[in-house]
């Protein structure tokens, strides 16, 4: 069975032909007697990793604990879309998350996973990150192939346009962009700002922890980026209103930063294709899920003198799983090719 794996900063997501599975890419170190902590976690059936005499709660349970115990630090195996060099226990945590989602391969199963494009605004390479993920997935017995994150968005969102257009993945650690023509990538890059950048800046401005800001983004019924900010400023002035106002503000700044860099890359690239017709922009990724996101994106886009005609801007259905589903479509094609080759 072919599988697609979205290796995101905030979530790891697997897609198969008949199911989607998610696990939050986070962990939390539990203090106390190691054996007692392990017994407690086993009793509650909470996933954990033991490393170097420390016990780490893994995944969604770690995020839940961080909401309740405000003094507890939620840690990430990844940062800005790549492996987090500040977290020495990141690799065993990632291995546990991947193992939970994928399981061991049954026969010659193919797993296509994604990595970010090379970032244009930080001095880091993707090769080590890619190799570590490959080693982990190989360890579960899969035949692996890697594709860029925004290309996976294109495979899912540009099918009706002959895989031609601009694909954008709005992630937690990064935003990834690919310009595609009939399935070929003419330009790809990433910027090291995403949902986490919003969380960190809102936290700095409001005094909340980044984890609580993230929870507000994901669960607040009052957050709608389409609404004006006047009610926040001149209304009741509640803490929630201030947080929501800050979130809206930084969403606009993030989209502006993304589009400005896309325009610069377009204009600097000598061998860009001359599209015969206007092309669509398709968007996916968890940071695009907030109500009213497309209104903010359109507003920022309208303020730019974009270098090529754009036919439409649309959010892919079930945007959070779009990368995993794009990886899955590539994995299915690989398995089909292998089956045809074996029959010849």
Answer yes or no: is 36 within a domain.
Answer: yes
pTM of the model: 0.90
Q: CATH number for the domain including 276?
A: 3.30.420.40
For the chain, 344 residues long, give each residue's pLDDT as a single digit of tens: 899 999 999 999 999 999 999 999 999 888 888 999 899 899 988 888 888 888 999 989 988 888 777 667 788 889 888 888 888 888 999 999 999 999 999 988 999 999 999 999 988 889 999 999 999 999 999 999 999 999 999 999 999 999 999 999 999 999 999 999 999 999 999 999 999 999 999 999 988 888 888 888 887 666 788 865 444 444 555 677 788 889 999 999 999 999 999 999 888 876 677 888 999 999 999 999 999 999 999 999 998 888 889 999 999 999 999 999 999 999 999 998 887 776 66
Buried b / exposed e over 19-50, threshold 16 CB at 10 Å, is ebbbbbbbbbbbeeeeeebeeebeeeebbbbe
Q: Cα dist. 141→134, 215, 299, 324 in Å? A: 11, 35, 47, 19
Q: What pLDDT does residue 227 have?
A: 64
Task: Give the Cα-Cα-Cα angle 77, 79, 85 (nearest 5 degrees).
Answer: 70
Does residue 233 belong to any structural domain of this protein? Answer: yes
Q: Give the per-residue pLDDT at 244.
A: 84
Residue 146 falls within a domain, yes or no?
Answer: no
Residues 188 and 62 in one domain: no
The beta-strand segments (E) located in 31-90 are 48-51, 54-58, 78-79, 82-83
Residue 158 falls within a domain, yes or no?
Answer: no
Q: Decide if 164 contacts 213 (C-beta within 8 A).
A: no
Q: Which two tokens stand for residue 35?
A: 């054996």
Range of the domain at 32: 26-75
Domain total for the chain?
2
Beta-strand relationship, 110-115 and 3-7: parallel
Q: Dig out the tokens for 305 from the structure.
A: 């003198």
For residue 240, is it within any domain? yes
In a domain, residue 189? The reply is yes
Residue 215 domain-assigned (yes or no): yes
Q: 180 and 313: one domain? A: yes
Residue that is written with structure tokens 């195996």 in the block: 77
Whether 34 and 172 map to the same domain: the answer is: no
Neighbours of 159 (CB within 10 A): 12
pLDDT the model gives residue 234:
46
Residue 329 CA, chain-centre distance (Å), reads 18
Q: Is residue 312 part of a domain?
A: yes
Examine the domain organization and report whether 301 and 172 are in the same domain: yes
pLDDT of residue 232: 45
Who's near 4: CB < 8 A, 6+ residues apart? 14, 15, 16, 111, 112, 113, 152, 323, 324, 325, 326, 327, 328, 329, 330, 331
CB atoms within 10 A of CB 331: 28
Question: How is residue 164 annotated by DSSP?
Answer: -
What torsion, rounded to 10 degrees, do the Cα atoms 43, 104, 22, 63 define? 40
In contact, 139 and 44? CB cutoff 8 Å: no
**Integer Cα distance of 93 and 105 in angstroms:** 20
Same domain, 67 and 189: no
Give the number of other Cβ atoms within 10 Å of residue 238's Cβ. Answer: 11
């Amino acid at each position: 069975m072919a599988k697609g794996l979205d290796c995101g900063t905030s979530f790891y997501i697997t897609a198969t032909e008949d199911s989607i599975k998610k696990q939050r890419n986070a962990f939390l170190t539990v203090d106390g007697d190691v054996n007692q902590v392990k017994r407690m976690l086993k009793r509650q059936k909470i996933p954990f990793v033991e490393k170097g005499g420390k016990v780490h709660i893994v995944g969604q349970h770690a995020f839940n604990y961080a909401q309740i115990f405000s003094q507890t630090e939620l840690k990430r195996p990844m940062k800005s879309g790549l492996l987090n060099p500040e977290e020495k226990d990141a690799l065993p945590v990632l291995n546990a998350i991947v193992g939970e989602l994928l399981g061991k391969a049954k026969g010659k199963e193919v797993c296509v996973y994604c990595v970010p494009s090379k970032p244009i605004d930080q001095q880091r390479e993707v090769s080590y990150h890619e190799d570590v993920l490959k080693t982990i997935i190989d360890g579960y017995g899969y035949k692996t192939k890697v594709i860029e994150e925004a290309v996976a968005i294109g495979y899912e969102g540009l099918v009706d346009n002959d895989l031609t257009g601009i694909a954008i993945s709005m992630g937690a650690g990064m935003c990834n962009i690919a310009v595609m023509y009939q399935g070929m990538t003419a330009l790809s890059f990433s910027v090291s700002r995403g949902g986490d950048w919003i969380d960190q800046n809102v936290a700095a401005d409001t005094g909340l922890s980044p984890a609580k800001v993230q929870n507000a983004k994901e669960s607040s019924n009052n957050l709608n980026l389409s609404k004006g900010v006047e009610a926040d400023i001149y209304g009741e002035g509640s803490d929630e209103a201030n947080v929501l106002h800050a979130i809206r503000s930084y969403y606009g700044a993030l989209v502006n930063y993304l589009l400005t860099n896309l325009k610069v890359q377009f204009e600097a690239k000598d061998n860009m294709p001359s599209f015969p017709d206007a092309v669509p922009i398709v968007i996916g990724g968890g940071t695009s899920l907030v109500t009213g996101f497309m209104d903010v994106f359109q507003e920022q886009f309208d303020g730019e003198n974009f270098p090529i005609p754009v036919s439409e801007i649309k959010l892919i259905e079930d945007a959070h799983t779009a990368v995993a589903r794009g990886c899955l479509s590539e994995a299915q094609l690989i398995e089909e090719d292998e089956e045809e080759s074996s029959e010849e």
